[in-house]
């Protein structure tokens, strides 16, 4: 019988918390370990090889901490490193990609906007996703440099963040998009601001809930004998500054979060 298991989750920073909240809901008894790679954020404008290296290091750390499954709570890291992680590690690796399929099903105007990092938008994986699911729907993409940094500062609604959201949504709305894909796990934290800017009728879609359900299915199928944890606790780690991380986690996460710094070898 497998004893209590842990699930490791990582992102370039705090964005993956938007996925973690769905995981906590879908798997309320599990022990979760979250790593924010804030010392290396943003991933969006870095070469794929850099992100791949970071992802392997973080996966090693999580497995060392007892993770029996890993969630890549980052679209950019999925595009750069999901295949490598799956080839190197034998535990379930759940990854995520922009919600093209549900957005195509939801649009009434026939135009879907995608907000994502440059790394995601330029990836072969994203091109394949469009090829597979876009069909007759027009997909308009928009890279969003600077937005992740605002969220990492905990600025979800200030003038600078609003100006960036206005700048990045304007071309998509002008083109007639009625549905916006939040193709980066940081962006769901801006949903209220995006609705303010784009209008309450805009449909916003992301894959956080779907990823949590996929993880749950994999846990049930591949680790059926596990016993749920007794504390349902979550451990938080960062490769960045602990004090800064603690402040932002307290804004974005409901429970009080104690954040620890990753050991030197993983920085």
Among 117, 150, 179, 207, binds ligand DGL (CB under 6 A): 117
Among 84, 120, 161, 234, binds ligand DGL (CB under 6 A): 120
d(CA 265, CA 267): 6
Q: Which of 223, 260, 167 is nearest to 6 (CA)?
A: 223
Is 23 among the residues that bind ligand DGL (CB under 6 A)? Answer: no
Check if the beta carbon of residue 180 is closer than 8 Å to that of residue 198. Answer: yes
Q: Which of 214, 216, 233, 234 is nearest to 224 (CA)?
A: 216
d(CA 28, CA 168): 36
Is 186 among the residues that bind ligand DGL (CB under 6 A)? Answer: yes
Q: Is 74 a catalytic residue?
A: yes
Burial of 243 (0-12, 13-18, 19+ CB in 10 A): exposed
Query: Which of the stretches 124-132, 179-187, 245-253, 255-263 binds ligand DGL when contact is defined by CB under 6 A?
Result: 179-187
Is 208 among the residues that bind ligand DGL (CB under 6 A)? Answer: no
Among 84, 179, 185, 234, binds ligand DGL (CB under 6 A): 185
Among 33, 36, 74, 259, binds ligand DGL (CB under 6 A): 74
Q: Is 144 a catalytic residue?
A: no
Positions annotated as catalytic residues are 74, 184
Residues engaged in binding ligand DGL (CB under 6 A): 11-13, 15, 41-44, 74-76, 117, 120, 148, 184-186
């Amino acid at each position: 019988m497998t004893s209590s298991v842990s699930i490791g989750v990582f992102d370039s920073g705090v964005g993956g918390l938007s996925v973690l909240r769905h995981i906590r809901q879908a798997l309320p008894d599990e022990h979760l370990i979250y790593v924010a790679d804030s010392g290396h954020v943003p991933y969006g404008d870095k070469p794929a090889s850099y992100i791949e290296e970071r992802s392997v290091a973080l996966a090693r750390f999580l497995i060392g901490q007892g993770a029996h499954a890993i969630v890549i709570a980052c679209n950019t890291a999925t595009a750069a490193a999901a295949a490598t992680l799956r080839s190197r590690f034998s535990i379930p690796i759940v990854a995520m990609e922009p919600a093209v399929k549900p957005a195509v099903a939801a649009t009434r105007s026939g135009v879907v906007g995608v907000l994502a990092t440059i790394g995601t938008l330029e990836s072969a994986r994203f091109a394949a996703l469009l090829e597979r699911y876009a069909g007759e729907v027009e997909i308009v993409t928009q890279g969003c440099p600077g937005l992740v940094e605002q969220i990492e500062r905990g600025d979800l609604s200030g003038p600078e963040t609003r100006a960036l959201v206005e700048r990045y949504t304007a071309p998509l709305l002008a083109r007639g998009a009625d549905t916006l894909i939040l193709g980066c796990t940081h962006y769901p934290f801006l949903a209220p601001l995006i609705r303010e800017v784009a209008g309450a009728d805009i449909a916003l879609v992301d894959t956080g809930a779907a990823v949590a359900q996929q993880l749950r299915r994999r846990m049930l199928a591949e680790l059926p004998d596990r016993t749920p944890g007794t504390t349902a606790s979550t451990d938080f780690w960062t490769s960045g500054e602990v004090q800064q991380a603690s402040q932002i986690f307290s804004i974005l996460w409901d429970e009080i979060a104690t954040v620890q710094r990753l050991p030197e070898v993983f920085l």
